[in-house]
Amino acid sequence: MENPLWRNSKWVSKFIAMAIACLAAVWVVVQFLWAVENSLKTDIDIFRPGAVFPFLQFTPKLDAWKKVLYDSQLPNCFFSSALVGLSTTVLVLLIGTPAAYSLARFEFKRMKSKDITLWFLSQRVLPTVVVLAPFYIILAESGMIETWIGLILLYSTFNLTFCVVIMRDIFRDVSKEVEEAARIEGASLWQIFWMIALPLSLDGLIVTAFIIFAACWNEALFASAVTSQHAVTMPFFILTTRTSSGVHFNTAGVDTILAIAPPVILSLLVQRYLARGLSFGAVKG
């Protein structure tokens, strides 16, 4: 079904939107093809001088793929990324979803709900590098350097604000009349939240969970700062391609393809939820 907003838009607006979408697609596809191409090259082919068509003038080889796939650190990095990402997503949703519902349905005496939400949003836009040193000291004093728990707590801290802000607008789109009817029938606040508000917000909840998981999976700053061997994640694994002799672009290409595969596959599985969930909160402020 065609979107009414798109159908009623002027041709100039449609042209600009399509142009931006095409440029974004080209930008993503070119980088992906660059990674695929480099993953099939040797070091000599990558830095071969005088190559007029670098995408064509080489003999494809699987040396880089064999090197990465046989690396004993790869399974550990995959497991760490999956464990930290899933654990952070569950923890953030358990804490942030009830908080978001309270901000969507209740007002507080000393501070309005929208002001609290604005404070949460301000924490989300805070550059993570600003608090890198304090968090590192806290983890070091707590004995959580090089641990999965340390990463989970770090990622939960920064993604909790995102969950609260997004889920608050999603809950505001849920009809209050349905909740009031349930309250008249004797339902408790917890029953209304668990049996009415959450099911009606399922699409938005899945979208929020997916974005939180993707953010954790792709995070590299804290992963490289507080881990070095046991709890290393895929972004750190990609950073290891940079050595004193330079960047090994062929292994970096393999690492990149392997790292983006799980989020891409997951996005395809939840695509139908993404299309509906991203439209939540688009009208109300």
Report if pTM > 0.85: no
Residue 247, φ and ψ in degrees, nearest 5: -95, 130
Residues 60, 45: Cα–Cα separation, whole Å: 9
Q: What is the pLDDT of residues 149-206, one digit of tens each?
A: 999 999 998 888 888 888 888 888 888 888 888 888 888 888 888 888 888 888 888 8
Helix or strand or coil: residue 69? helix
Q: What's the confidence (pLDDT) of residue 285? A: 44
Long-range contacts at 83-86 (CB < 8 A, ≥ 24 apart): 83/148, 84/148, 84/151, 84/152, 84/155, 84/216, 84/231, 84/233, 85/155, 85/213, 85/216, 85/217, 86/213
Residues 200, 180: Cα–Cα separation, whole Å: 15
The CATH code of domain 71-277 reads 1.10.3720.10
Share of the chain above pLDDT 90, in %: 19
**DSSP secondary-structure letter at 130?**
G
Nearest to 235 by CA among 213, 253, 217, 251: 217
Beta bridge partners of 246: 243
